[in-house]
Structure 1
Amino acid sequence: MRKRFFVTGIDTDAGKTYVTVGLLAAAKRAGLKSLGLKPIAAGSIQMEGGLRNDDALLIQNASSVQLPYEQVNPVVLEEAIAPHIAAMKEGRLITASRLEGFIKGALLTPNEFALVEGAGGWRVPLNDRELLSDVAKSLGFPVILVVNMKLGCLNHAILTAEAIARDGLAVAGWVANNGTPEKMPCYDENLATLVSMLSAPLLGTLPWCENEQESQQAFDAILSAL
């Protein structure tokens, strides 16, 4: 049975790639044919073979099913700015249907566990009419919501979950990510508030951790909850 999810965050730098890579690594340890995609990425450097985005490279390397970079990250933009603005500056037009086609083409490769990572938050513009959430809607995959536990996360998480529900998609669950060595003030109280106010289950918490074994155990638990 194949499992496929769309990974989004409550804002940029929420930890989407950290969660995506961690889950792909957990799937690999579980012996699953896994692959991750980063269909659009802004912020890249020129390398041998062309422009490359760091997050997309991490996702490519974490996947047990190896795809060419061009399939993992079909739309790569140079400047680390809003994708639609970066595309406009490069004289390119990005459409939801084109991204959807890239994703579905890559997913024809046999797999058992696949993650499609978004860019920024849920309502990221692709052009003057379409949003990245339009791509997620067309795919119809359950959504994994990454919440970076910091001041403001309650409002952002609740609004994002509401937007996903309005788009007719299920939130498979959410992950509480602590991306700094020190927890936010009243961390436990904020976590409890989200647990009570978000209808989707809490898949797991990711404390700041430099111990690789502990990190792996956390992601193994999240994978088993999906």
Structure 2
Amino acid sequence: MKKRFFVTGIDTDAGKTFVTVGLLKAAKRAGLKSIGLKPIAAGADRVDGGLRNDDAVLIQQASSVRLAYEQVNPVVLEEAIAPHIAAMKEGRLVTVSRLEGFIKGTLLTPHDFALVEGAGGWRVPLNDREFLSEVAQSLDFPVIMVVNMKLGCLNHALLTAEAIARDGLALAGWVANTGAEEMPCYEENLVSLKSMLSAPLLGVLPWCEGEFDSQQMFDELLLAL
């Protein structure tokens, strides 16, 4: 049976890609055919005449199923700003149906495990009337919510969880991602979130400036899904 999830954060830079890449690598170690997608990304560099987003490249490399970059990240925008504004400045219209078509087309590729990573937080606009959350609704995948543990995360996490439930999707669980700056009363905030969120805490990710051995951590996180 295929396992598929949509990965969102409570805001931008929450650690979605770190979690997505870690889980994809864990799936590869487990011998699963894994696919990671970043359907829309804002912020890219020109490489060999084409635009490449760093997060999408990491997701492409972490997947065990080999896909072309354009399959992983079909809509790439050059400026690192809100996607709908970046698209407007480039004279492009990004729609829910277009992203849904790209994703579902790529997911016809045989696989056991798939992650679709969002952009920014849950309610990111695609245009003046549609939101990225509507793409998640159309896919109807359980959602993994990444919480960057910092001041304000309680409000952001609870509101995001409420919005996911209101949109009719299941919250598979949440991941606590520790930031570079120590959060005041970190443990107390973690306990509060565990008691206030109905979904399970899948894992707690420590902060580390350099590389660290996270294999066991993500192997356990994968098993929790």
2:221 corresponds to 1:222: yes
Structure 1 segments of 4+ aligned residues over 4 angstroms from their partners: none
Distance apart, 1:64 and its partner CA: 0.3
CA distance in 1, matches of 2:76, 2:96: 15
Distance apart, 1:48 and its partner CA: 1.1
Q: Secondary structure at the match of 2:13?
A: coil
Q: Which amino acid aligns with 2:67?
A: L
Distance apart, 1:179 and its partner CA: 2.7
Q: Which amino acid aligns with 1:200?
A: A
RMSD between aligned alpha carbons? 0.9
CA distance in 1, matches of 2:34, 2:211: 24
Q: Which amino acid aligns with 1:28?
A: K
CA distance in 2, matches of 1:38, 1:79: 16
Unmatched 5+ stretches in structure 1: none
Distance apart, 1:44 and its partner CA: 0.1
Aligned length: 224
CA distance in 2, matches of 1:7, 1:78: 22
CA distance in 1, matches of 2:49, 2:14: 29
Q: What are the superposed Cα offsets for residues 8-64 of structure 1, whole Å, 9 maximum, x if unpaired?
A: 000000000000000001101111100100000000000015000000000000000
Distance apart, 1:212 and its partner CA: 2.9
Q: Secondary structure at the match of 2:110?
A: coil
Which residue of the partner structure matches residue 147 of structure 1? Answer: 147
Which residue of the partner structure matches residue 183 of structure 1? Answer: 182
Which residue of the partner structure matches residue 37 of structure 1? Answer: 37
CA distance in 1, matches of 2:108, 2:86: 29
Partners of 1:147 and 1:174 within 8 A in 2 = yes
Which residue of the partner structure matches residue 130 of structure 1? Answer: 130
Q: Which amino acid aligns with 2:51?
A: L
Partners of 1:15 and 1:179 within 8 A in 2 = no
Q: Which amino acid aligns with 1:15?
A: G
Q: Secondary structure at the match of 2:18?
A: helix
5 Å matches for 1:149-168? 149-168=149-168
Distance apart, 1:141 and its partner CA: 0.1
Distance apart, 1:216 and its partner CA: 1.3
- Percent identity of paired positions between Structure 1 and Structure 2: 82
2:121 corresponds to 1:121: yes
When residues 173 and 50 of structure 1 are mapped into structure 2, their CA distance, relative to the original with a 3 A threshold, is same
Q: Secondary structure at the match of 2:158?
A: helix
Compute the TM-score of the two structures, normalised by the length of structure 1.
0.97
Distance apart, 1:123 and its partner CA: 0.2
CA distance in 1, matches of 2:217, 2:187: 18
5 Å matches for 1:87-126? 87-126=87-126
Q: Secondary structure at the match of 1:122?
A: coil
Q: What are the superposed Cα offsets for residues 126-176 of structure 1, whole Å, 9 maximum, x if unpaired?
A: 000000000000000000000000000000000000000000000000000
Q: Secondary structure at the match of 2:115?
A: strand
Distance apart, 1:211 and its partner CA: 5.7
Distance apart, 1:208 and its partner CA: 1.1
